[in-house]
Amino acid sequence: MKKALIMLLCLLAALCLAVPALGEGVSRTVSVSGSSNISLAADTATLRIGVSTVRDTVAEAQSENNEIMQRVIAAILGQNVAQEDVVTSDFSVYTERDYSDASAPVRYHVDNTLYVTVRALDTVGDVIDAATAAGANQMYGLTFSSSGETAAYEKALRRAYEDAAAKAALLAEAAGQTLGEVVSINASNSYGGDYGIANTYAMDARSAKTAIVSGDVTVSASVTVVFAIK
């Protein structure tokens, strides 16, 4: 009995010594998020222009599609679009069946789509009009971008970190603590987004041209930073 009591007292003493040590080893941190947005004037437009044909045979559909597409490409290049800025983005062949009528003939679709980059924004409407006049019957995916997006994103990342650091310093001060070193940083890995209305082309109501409104590109960055506090 006496031996068991002595062992119990030793265990209690060890625990008493261990508690302060455990307390000293607990790391204290503050986690904050920071963000930044930078607006750039768009200087490039991209769009998808396509030709879709439907005929009774694949050969007929493909032949007609190819003929029209050649005219469309020539029309686009005629608007001072560089050859390397006109590339095929999609080509597909599929059938059309009337399942309610077993005797109905099968029809064949051929779709050919171009990915076109226009570097002179004041000609976007002209490119669309020229392609349509040449026979293009699919037009979608018009987006604006800026050649300065990469540099802007790097700048936005720095500003996002500064935003996070300022918040962390304020929180540490409010808690009566001192901000320590950075423990970890997690940054978003994408950028680009909203478009404002910065420039307008071909908006004359008397003009038959396609009206195109270009936009500002908003580059966004966000980070989450964990700081030690002491």
pLDDT value for 100? 76
pLDDT value for 42? 92
Give the position of tokens 């307008």.
200
pLDDT at 84 over 90: yes
- Pick the range with the lowest mean pLDDT from 39-43, 112-116, 162-166: 39-43
pTM: 0.67
pLDDT value for 101? 74
pLDDT at 3 over 80: no
pLDDT value for 176? 93
DSSP characters for 173-208? HHTT--EEEEEEEEE-------B---EEES--TT--
**Rounded average pLDDT over 64-84:** 97
Q: What are 213's two structure tokens?
A: 């409104």
- Pick the range with the lowest mean pLDDT from 2-6, 142-146, 209-213: 2-6
Query: Could you tell me which residue, 209 or 112, shows the higher pLDDT?
Result: 112
**Rounded average pLDDT over 21-41:** 80
Measuring CA to CA, which residue among 72, 81, 69, 75 is closest to residue 112? 69
pLDDT value for 140? 87
188 pLDDT band, cuts 50/70/90, is: confident
pLDDT at 148 over 80: yes
Q: How far apart, in whole angstroms, are the C-alpha atoms of residue 169 and residue 186?
A: 18
Query: Could you tell me which residue, 22 or 222, shows the higher pLDDT?
Result: 222
Q: What are 56's two structure tokens?
A: 């009774």
